[in-house]
Structure 1
Amino acid sequence: MSFGEKIRNLRKAQNMSQQELAKILDVHPKHISRYENNVSQPSLEVLLKLRDLFHVSLDYLATDEDSHDFHYKDKELESYFEAVDRLNEEDKQVIKKIIEAMLIKNNQV
């Protein structure tokens, strides 16, 4: 997966527009489009902001790897999350709410 695809996917997973991401990163919105279309690469400062914002590693952003740097100990849970990633956004939001409720119930948030 290209850098641009990763940024686009991460942004959309957060239901964020290019304009919103640009404001957070303190860059012009055209830069976001250029990043997502692999026309230009962000500075190290912007990469660090992306890392922190999306909770991913610099390795993930900078390499062609498709997966995040973490793996679940529970392989069944990992397969569920991979399947969830293929759902539409509305269904993903429902699952996020269920997970959040369970974490709150168990004082994990």
Structure 2
Amino acid sequence: MLIFGNRLRDLRHEQHMRQEDLARHLQISKSSVGMYERGEREPSLVTLRSIADFFHVTTDYLLGRTDDRDLTLPKAKSSSKDDTVVSTGGRVSQKKALNRNLKEVLKQDELYWGNIPFSQRERSAIKELMNLMVSEKPPRYGKKNEEE
């Protein structure tokens, strides 16, 4: 698995990480990272997925099955005249599309800033803030009470 080892090393170098740093993030030994990079050992499926998630690439990219690193979905075309996003499912407002994307992010167990994972406490705070930002019915401030 020399392709895997080379790609792992390249990704690690792009992030200016040492083998020790990557090992700590993946909760594996430094020697395992070194053996993966030299092609002396193959990672388990769980470790392979962890590496792909950490570097935001596909497992197919790591294994050399594709040269496309990108994990993102195909981009929707924007229509400037009516502020909508055109997708295969029809026309959707940009606000609704953004809400859907944020809701998907909120469902994830792990959140990262670059390649640095947030703690559980930080994730909870981010999720709470994002929920407030995209709530379906935002509170109306300054509206008089109807009973008055």
Task: Tell me if TM exceeds 0.5.
Answer: yes
CA RMSD, Structure 1 to Structure 2 (Å) = 2.3
From the two aligned structures, give the one with the greater strand fraction.
2
Q: Deviations over 1:60-97 (max 9, x none)?
A: 11225444257xx9xxxxxxxxxxxxxxxxxxxxxxxx
Q: Normalising to structure 1: TM-score of the pair?
A: 0.59
Q: 3-state DSSP class of the match of 1:41?
A: coil
Equivalent-residue separation in structure 1 for 2:29 and 2:58 (angstroms): 24
Identical pairs, percent: 38
Q: Deviations over 1:21-59 (max 9, x none)?
A: 001111110001000000011111111111111010011
Rg comparison, structure with higher value: 2
Provide the residue aligned with 2:4 in structure 1: 3
Q: Which residues in structure 2 correspond to 1:1-109 (within 5 Å)?
A: 2-69=3-70
The number of equivalent residue pairs is: 73
Contact 1:3–1:36 (Cα < 8 Å) also in 2: yes
Q: Normalising to structure 2: TM-score of the pair?
A: 0.44
Equivalent-residue separation in structure 2 for 1:42 and 1:2 (angstroms): 13
Contact 1:2–1:64 (Cα < 8 Å) also in 2: no
Return the letter of the residue paired with 2:57: V
From the two aligned structures, give the one with the greater helix fraction.
1
Return the letter of the residue paired with 2:50: K
Instruction: Return the structure number with greater relative CO, CA threshold 8 A, min gap 6.
Output: 1
Can you give the 5+ residue segments of structure 1 that lack an aligned partner in the other structure?
74-109
